[in-house]
């Protein structure tokens, strides 16, 4: 079907685009208040940017990327996620050169070749933050708290925060060995993807969408038994800080997150309504270094905007977003239409929204238009009004009509 949108993509128009912009402005204003500055990076990157960071064994790289060769035979990829691109930009522009913690946020489309269904699209939008500079349980807590605050400021309820640690490098190495040992004689019970994950990164098996609920996976060794003392203490301090801030959470041993770059704290906010993650994130120790940058740790999260929108629709959380039209101008001949255009322009400059009929000169169709739009005021311009400079203004709500001089219409409409 040449003239239908591509499978798994969405058109936003009318109320939907207003809801989208409502979420965007709400979340950006919150993080701006937290001192985050916006980073806008290209929608595509060299493929290597994602392969080396997100990891070859991840679902994203192994099967979800929109990768293509451009006319110069370069392999490019439509960004499937934000973090790798933000790190690339951070390192390439040497934004680490000045001291202090750096906080960025981004908002925009991501692309993943997934099986489309409610809450899962091939082009979707993410809002995310990344913080570079320190590895501290208190910073982790602050970042998680800001995600929690975003949800509460959108009035979204019924969300569970799941949290886990996947430890530092040493803990992960011990754990990976234990998983290999455990899964090595159970491979026949796993899906083909998991057989592959076994070789490349056995922790990915725990994140499997096919086998995830099976007993084999549920009974697999748990990371908490392989953590170094340091990693354990880091996690416990993060949880303690969350307790102090009264952020409820559930520790989930099987939460490993689908991207390779995470270390230590990982978390997801899951919706009770459909069981999908509305936001996910974690800490990454080595990502900046792996982009040939300095040894600076980072932490971030990303919200799925479509998933937020679905929940807000379900819970009826959007305010009234229809723009009410303030004024409809009815004009009774061609010359009056010119007058109407001039009046509309003056009113709009004064932030008064105006509609008019460009075609009809008789009253009936213009009143029909006005009925449909339901403005607060109707201004009528005909020959008599043009000549006297005094226009008929109907106050629709209060059902009254006045004669108003041209230069008083703005005040009248604004109720001054
Ligand atoms: P899932 O487990 O649902 O596939 P994920 O772990 O792949 O999610 P992340 O890469 O962490 O997701 O992305 C962060 C957020 O972006 C998710 O929590 C979700 O809200 C949203 N998201 C991810 N993939 C999609 C998609 N295909 N369509 C819509 N939203 C998505
Ligand atoms: Mg996914």
Please report which residue ranges of 210-349 form alpha helices under DSSP H: 215-218, 229-244, 287-290, 305-314, 334-349
277 CB less than 6 Å from ligand 1? yes
Residue 169 pLDDT: 86
Host H or E run for residue 217: helix 215-218
What is Dmax (Cα atoms) for the chain?
95
207 touches ligand 1 (CB under 6 Å): no
CB 301 within 8 A of CB 143: yes
Q: Is the Cβ–Cβ distance between 134 and 167 less than 8 Å?
A: no
Tens digits of residue pLDDT in 377-395: 999 999 999 999 999 999 9
> Residue 276 gets which letter from DSSP?
-
What spacing in Å lies between the alpha carbon of 185 and ligand 2's midpoint? Answer: 27
- Which residue CA neighbors atom 29 of ligand 1 most closely? 120
Domains (range + CATH), the chain: 15-168+228-314 (3.30.930.10), 327-414 (3.40.50.800)
Q: Could you tell me which of 341, 324, 310, 330 has the C-alpha nearest to residue 394?
A: 330
Indicate whether residue 280 lines ligand 1 (CB < 6 A). yes
Is any atom of ligand 1 closer than 6 Å to the C-beta of 79?
Answer: no
Residue to substitute in 61, 280, 310 for testing ligand 1 pocket (most ligand atoms within 8 angstroms of CB) = 280
Cα–ligand 1 centroid distance for 399 (angstroms): 52
50 close to ligand 1 (CB < 6 Angstrom)? no
Residues 23-43: pLDDT tens digits? Answer: 999 999 999 888 999 999 999
Going from the Cα of 349 to the center of ligand 2, the distance in angstroms, rounded, reads: 46
Read off the pLDDT of residues 110-162 as tens digits, 9 standing for 90 and up.
999 999 999 999 999 999 999 999 899 999 999 999 999 999 999 999 999 99
Ligand nearest to the CA of residue 118, numbered in listed order:
1
Q: What angle do CA 20, 24, 27 make, to 5 degrees?
A: 135
Ligand nearest to the CA of 209: 1
Q: Identify the band that residue 335 occupies on the pLDDT scale cut at 50, 70 and 90.
A: very high
**Whole-number Å distance between alpha carbons of 94 and 88:** 10
Which ligand has the minimum distance to the alpha carbon of residue 122?
1
Q: How far apart are CA 69 and CA 246, in angstroms?
A: 50
SS3 assignment, position 295 = coil
């Amino acid at each position: 079907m040449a003239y239908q949108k591509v499978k798994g993509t969405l058109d936003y128009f009318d109320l939907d685009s207003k809801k989208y912009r409502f979420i965007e402005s709400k979340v950006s204003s919150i993080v701006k208040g937290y001192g985050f500055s916006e980073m806008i990076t290209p929608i595509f990157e060299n493929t290597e940017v994602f392969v080396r960071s997100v990891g070859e064994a991840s679902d994203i790289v192994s099967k979800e990327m929109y990768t293509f060769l451009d006319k110069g035979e370069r392999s490019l990829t439509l960004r499937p996620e934000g973090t790798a691109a933000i790190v690339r930009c951070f390192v390439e522009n040497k934004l680490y050169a000045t001291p202090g913690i750096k906080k960025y946020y981004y908002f925009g489309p991501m692309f993943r070749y997934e099986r489309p269904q409610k809450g899962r699209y091939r082009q979707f939008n993410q809002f995310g933050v990344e913080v570079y500079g320190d590895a501290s349980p208190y910073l982790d807590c602050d970042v998680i708290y800001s995600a929690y605050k975003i949800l509460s400021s959108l009035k979204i309820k019924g969300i569970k925060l799941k949290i886990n640690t996947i430890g530092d490098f040493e803990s992960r190495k011990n754990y990976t060995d234990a998983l290999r040992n455990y899964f090595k004689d159970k491979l026949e019970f796993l899906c083909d993807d998991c057989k592959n994950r076994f070789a490349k990164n056995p922790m990915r098996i725990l994140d499997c969408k096919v086998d995830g609920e099976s007993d084999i996976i549920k009974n697999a060794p748990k990371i908490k038994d392989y953590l170094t003392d340091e990693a354990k203490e880091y996690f416990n301090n993060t949880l303690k800080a969350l307790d102090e801030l009264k952020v409820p959470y559930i520790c989930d041993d099987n939460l490993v997150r689908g991207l390779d770059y995470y270390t230590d704290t990982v978390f997801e906010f899951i919706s009770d309504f459909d069981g999908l993650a509305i936001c996910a994130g974690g800490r990454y120790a080595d990502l900046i270094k792996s982009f040939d940058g300095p040894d600076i740790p980072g932490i971030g999260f990303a919200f799925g905007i479509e998933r937020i929108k679905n929940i807000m629709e379900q819970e009826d959380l959007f305010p009234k977003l229809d723009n009410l039209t303030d004024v409809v101008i009815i004009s009774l001949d061609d010359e009056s239409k010119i007058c109407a255009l001039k009046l509309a322009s003056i009113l709009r400059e004064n932030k008064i929204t105006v509609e008019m009929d460009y075609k009809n000169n008789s009253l009936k169709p213009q009143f029909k238009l006005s009925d449909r739009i339901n403005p607060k005021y109707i201004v009528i311009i005909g020959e008599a009004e043009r000549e006297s400079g005094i226009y008929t203004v109907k106050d629709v709500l209060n059902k009254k009509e006045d004669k108003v001089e041209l230069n008083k219409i703005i005040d009248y409409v604004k109720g001054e």
